[in-house]
Amino acid sequence: MKIAIIGGGPAGLYAAILLKKQRPQAEITVYERNRAGDTFGFGVVFSDATLDNFEKYDAPSYRRITQEFAYWDDIAVHFRGTVHRVGGNGFCGCSRRMLLLILQERARELGVALMFEAEIDDEARFADADLVVLADGINSRFRDRYAEHFQPEVDVRSNMFAWMGSTRPLDAFTFIFQETEWGPFIAHAYQYEVGRSTWIFETDPETFERAGLAGLSEKQSAERMAGIFGWFLEGHQLLTNRSMWRNFPMIRSKRWVKDNMVLLGDAKATAHFSIGSGTKLAMEDAIALADAMHRAPTVNAALQQYEEGRREEVEKTQHAADVSLVWFEHVDRFWEFDPVQFAFGVMTRAKAITYDNLMLRAPDFVAEVDKSFARQVRARGLDVDVEQPDAPMFQPLRLREMQLANRVVVSPMCMYSAQEGVPGDFHLVHYGSRAIGGAGLIFTEMTCVGRDARITPGCAGLWNDEQQAAWRHIVDFVHANSAAKICLQLGHAGRKGATKLMWDGIDRPLEQGGWDVLSASPIPYFPDSQVPRQMDRAAMDAVKAEFVAAAERGERCGFDMLELHCAHGYLLASFISPLTNQRSDAYGGSLANRLRFPLEVFEALRSAWPSHKPMSVRISATDWAEGGIAGDDAVAIARAFAEAGVDLVDVSTGQTVRDAQPVYGRMFQTPFSEQVRNEARVATMCVGNITTSDQVNTILAAGRADLVALGRPHLADASFTMKAAAWYGAEIFCPPPYLPGKEQIFRNSVRDRQDFDDLKIKAKPKTRAELKAEATKPLAAE
Ligand SMILES: Cc1cc2nc3c(=O)[nH]c(=O)nc-3n(C[C@H](O)[C@H](O)[C@H](O)COP(=O)(O)OP(=O)(O)OC[C@H]3O[C@@H](n4cnc5c(N)ncnc54)[C@H](O)[C@@H]3O)c2cc1C
Ligand SMILES: Cc1cc2nc3c(=O)[nH]c(=O)nc-3n(C[C@H](O)[C@H](O)[C@H](O)COP(=O)(O)O)c2cc1C
């Protein structure tokens, strides 16, 4: 077999090693345009888990790599004169040059032919090769040559970065966030060998411009950085090696394989440097290719297997890198945060590290995070313990005169079980048990303001006395038997009205017994849905009056809070999204125009609703569709409602149009809440695939939301909050008849939690840094 590998970076060399081990008879050649010792940049970093993989696949190169490595366990965050350190991270660094020399030596040893100063321009010369590996890096010539086939997408990110080095020793992966007269600069730094550290500097394009970096030479810009970070460098030099400022390109390719050619490493996909995974991905690609070549009967089958088997893992890493890079791009959102909360945000930005996870490895840090959170609550006039505070999810929140005992919310969820809009026994048990279950705030399902405002025949309403009495019964029960507050969500279905019950076909038009539907524009939801009537001014007045009348009834029921539903493509949302609003009058066109009617309804409700009671608005922060609402619009929408007196923005997404393409995942809507909260400076509630109390605490402690709503998890578990209170040892109200149950779960949880923590600690292997520290520790005197 003949294998040609274009590119002698980590991907190409490691692929050569693994394939040669597998097929000693194969003729394998690596073509590298540089000389053997040439390399740009300074260090690379691997996690312990990545090194374990290397050990399994090629022990000799693993041993040499690890002999050369610098190990560290801590991440240190420097911000506004403070430093927060968190241990237990298990990372290693080594020089990129050393890594390449080790891989070259090992490849040679195995009999791989290494051709340096061999720039390949035309793969036709490999016509007789069975396999051609395209490992030619981020600017891959071959990926671009066959762009029509590989379909690469290049997303050039806004921040500027430069990769430098220093002689400054470091004992932790170090992030420094530095305010300057031009704006914020960030340094990502780590040591990779004795006396050498990598320094990646990053800043936003405006700060870059103001600092005049565009006009400086490599040397001058290193001097400028040394000036900014001089206090930390302590007289150590900054070193350069082609350290030009650039933008990071996030690259994704739709296809990785063409005939017998395969893309590997940065050539196929990149991951932002802030999660330090580029070299790891490149070498793990090589592992995946070698595995596929071992298993599959033919080269073509192997390449298909490689692409199919590897894609998900690469995309997962890229997603984590995306989340991380966006955090760094928007660091200004957090610049006013308390430093410990800021550090917690840095640590938890990419979802892998969480509140509970940090509690195990850095309990003192988490204790500080809790105290900082409690101090903020106290600064808002609430009497909480700041010395031994409860976890963030059990901190109270006040909105106007309504005080919530904790930050967990039962999200509004239609039960499709009302008769002519009247909530019945099912609703009493549903809301009542969730209130007893401990959530701080219960939302009603979307409660419709008129018969024709319903989504389905099973939707609850509040337009007549019978409905009002039924809701009053539920509200009274909640108030009498729990500490929960209850919020009425009012809505109008708009063009999604007159549809079937969820379990009969969600959003599908009723075949019989439907009613006429309204919308901002006459566009049906499905092609076969009813064409809605475009609302004229008279219809707007009528609907507004229905909302006001329902709010007045809500007050008579005793609800504590009112939410206006402006999300998910229903009537008011249909005005806000340009995909559903194609009007040419004062209610269409610009965002300000599209917001006019929803704001008018909100203002009418705000006047009708008692001024001591809070109001929220639910929005779809993105339509997940081309040409629709996106995150920046959500900030503008939130600002407009905040000016009109909203106390909380309930940040949901989507459900506007049928062909939306949501990107689901754990806590997938939380970034929108974070953006709205920290740009529009308004309290937010986040929701969407949040399933654990650990996630709730992580979101709150990092300042990504003020309240956390759980929908589906509450359908399966009414006592979610009670159980979490037992787990974290937080005080929580329980009605007297249930006290024995509460006492038992609180007692058992202490032991369960200890067992769980012990198990996790036992299951976690020692980090290499810990092992090294143990190996070098002097023996205790007997
Ligand atoms: C600022 C910065 C910091 C980074 N920090 C880290 C980090 O800390 N840890 C980490 O793991 N990763 C890091 N990376 C990413 C890492 O450098 C790359 O992801 C990794 O090197 C990818 O390996 P590769 O083999 O795919 O590509 P490369 O390492 O780029 O190798 C490609 C090789 O192909 C050669 N080549 C290109 N075209 C041709 C041709 N036509 N003919 C012959 N040869 C050719 C090039 O000369 C090069 O040697 C960082 C990247 C940047 C930009
Ligand atoms: C059965 C069901 C009914 C829902 N009804 C409503 C509703 O009436 N009003 C609303 O704003 N959102 C409604 N939603 C959306 C939820 O409030 C929540 O935003 C969504 O389920 C995502 O959260 P989760 O992942 O915690 O379930 C509903 C969701 C479900 C599953």
| pLDDT digits 0-9 by tens, 248-299 | 999 999 999 999 999 999 999 999 988 878 899 999 999 999 999 999 999 9
pLDDT in tens, 477-534: 999 999 999 999 999 999 999 999 999 999 999 999 999 999 999 999 999 999 999 9
Angle between helices 693-701 and 720-728 (to 10 degrees): 70
pLDDT at 241 (0 to 100): 86
> Quick one: which atom of ligand 1 is closest to the CA of 93?
8
pLDDT at 778 (0 to 100): 53
The CA distance from 720 to 451, in Å, is: 34
Q: Is 701 left (phi over 0), alpha (psi -120 to 50) or beta?
A: alpha
Q: What are the two backbone dihedrals, phi and then psi, of residue 13, each rounded to the nearest 5 degrees?
A: -70, -40
Out of 414, 488, 653, give the residue to mutate to test ligand 2, the one with the largest number of ligand atoms within 8 Å of its CB: 414
The CA distance from 734 to 583, in Å, is: 52
Out of 413, 456, 492, 563, give the residue to mutate to test ligand 2, the one with the largest number of ligand atoms within 8 Å of its CB: 413
Tell me, using a 6 A CB cutoff, whether residue 412 lines ligand 2.
Answer: yes
> Quick one: which atom of ligand 1 is closest to the CA of 198?
8
Tell me, using a 6 A CB cutoff, whether residue 165 lines ligand 1.
Answer: no
What ligand has the least distance to the C-alpha of 318? Answer: 1
> Quick one: which atom of ligand 1 is closest to the CA of 162?
1
Tell me, using a 6 A CB cutoff, whether residue 445 lines ligand 2.
Answer: yes
> Quick one: which atom of ligand 1 is closest to the CA of 46?
11
Tell me, using a 6 A CB cutoff, whether residue 93 lines ligand 1.
Answer: no
570 is catalytic: yes
Tell me, using a 6 A CB cutoff, whether residue 481 lines ligand 2.
Answer: no
pLDDT at 782 (0 to 100): 32
Q: What is the mean pLDDT of the chain?
A: 94
Q: Are 65 and 41 in contact (CB under 8 A)?
A: no
Tell me, using a 6 A CB cutoff, whether residue 202 lines ligand 1.
Answer: no
Tell me, using a 6 A CB cutoff, whether residue 30 lines ligand 1.
Answer: no
Q: Is 194 left (phi over 0), alpha (psi -120 to 50) or beta?
A: beta
The CA distance from 592 to 166, in Å, is: 51
Q: Are 409 and 443 in contact (CB under 8 A)?
A: yes
DSSP-derived pairing of the beta strands 196-203 and 257-258: unpaired
Tell me, using a 6 A CB cutoff, whether residue 57 lines ligand 1.
Answer: no
pTM comes to 0.90
pLDDT at 72 (0 to 100): 78
pLDDT at 355 (0 to 100): 96
Out of 47, 136, 144, 261, give the residue to mutate to test ligand 1, the one with the largest number of ligand atoms within 8 Å of its CB: 136
The CA distance from 145 to 475, in Å, is: 66
Q: Which of 146, 306, 570, 728 is catalytic?
A: 570
Which residue ranges of the chain lie beneath pLDDT 50? Answer: 779-782
What ligand has the least distance to the C-alpha of 712? Answer: 2
Give the distance (Å) from ligand 1 centre to CA of residue 33.
13
Tell me, using a 6 A CB cutoff, whether residue 285 lines ligand 1.
Answer: no
pLDDT at 781 (0 to 100): 37
DSSP 530-550: PPPEEP-HHHHHHHHHHHHHH
Closest CA to 10 of 58, 75, 72: 58
Give the distance (Å) from ligand 2 centre to CA of residue 538.
31
User: Which residues are bridge partners to 30 per DSSP?
Assistant: 5, 114
Give the distance (Å) from ligand 1 centre to CA of residue 137.
5
Give the distance (Å) from ligand 2 centre to CA of residue 700.
20
Q: Are 271 and 234 in contact (CB under 8 A)?
A: no
